[in-house]
A = this chain, B = another copy of it.
């Protein structure tokens, strides 16, 4: 830190979660502490939608998928004969579909591009799209207090894993730029690939089926194990689908820290309950982070 650097977690008000973060990080990084954790195991798993950036009025990727679907149905009208696609476009059932199902659906309706093409189209869309309420690119709706948390963790030898229910390629397309997280540390709901060859050229084709379990609920610890080979000692989420990830972070080492971001700030963002989360937090001793009271600044 230079003399001009702000203190860590500068956008956090003094609160129980902030104190708990400082205490936990100091303990696990202190070789003389009984709670010391070697750097290789100092892993923080962080959810994406609603934890690192704004997920309302609907998942950013869902907006991307629905707009892409719309374009495809315009080009190939027969696709509208698919009742799932029609319902999704009419907004009737999109909210009820899991991200995994929607990713499958979008892929099935699409032309099966390569992962590079998919990422490029996601980035191109994100460059032009604007949030309906805040009228800025979605990439500006990243939570500043979380960015500061990532910096503080990295400064103390943590590896950050983004563990998102969203599509792995969608998150990878922005993870390095927005969060400084290399793509191999991004886990998400993933489609299977098929290795294709034509005229001696090889490429990977995205298939309309899942690779491993969808990355929510029990899928999060399962995919963490498959990708990273161990469970985190710290986990941050905001919804029901994060509960298993936080519980597994608690199941290992003596020291662990679990946070749930509580969207209770209708004025600066949105206020919406996360079913079962406050009860789980009470039961397991997790910190609920109030966006309204604990964060001085949001974006």
- List residues of chain A with CB under 8 Å of any chain B CB: 40, 115, 159, 168-169, 172, 176, 182-186, 190, 192-195, 201-204, 211-212, 218, 221-222, 225-230, 244, 247-248, 251
Contact = CB atoms under 8 A, between A and B. Distances in A.
A194 B218 CA distance: 8
A174 to B, nearest CB: 12
A184 B229 contact: yes
A221 to B, nearest CB: 6
A143 to B, nearest CB: 24
Contacts of A228: 183-184
A213 to B, nearest CB: 8
A227 B195 contact: no
A244 B202 contact: yes
A212 to B, nearest CB: 6
Contacts of A248: 195, 202
A111 B172 CA distance: 37
B193 A222 contact: yes
B195 A218 contact: yes
B227 A182 contact: no
Contact of A195 (B159, B190, B194, B221): B221
Contact of A204 (B192, B212, B225): B225
Given A176-B40, A212-B212, A227 B193 contact: no
A229 B172 contact: yes
A227 B40 contact: no
Contact of A222 (B168, B195, B229): B195
Contact of A251 (B115, B172, B192, B203): B203
B190 A226 contact: yes
A201 B284 CA distance: 12
Nearest to A203: B251
Nearest to A43: B184
A55 B212 CA distance: 29
A210 to B, nearest CB: 10
B183 A230 contact: yes
Contacts of A203: 251
B182 A40 contact: yes
9 contacts: A115-B229, A184-B185, A184-B227, A195-B221, A195-B222, A202-B221, A202-B244, A204-B221, A204-B225
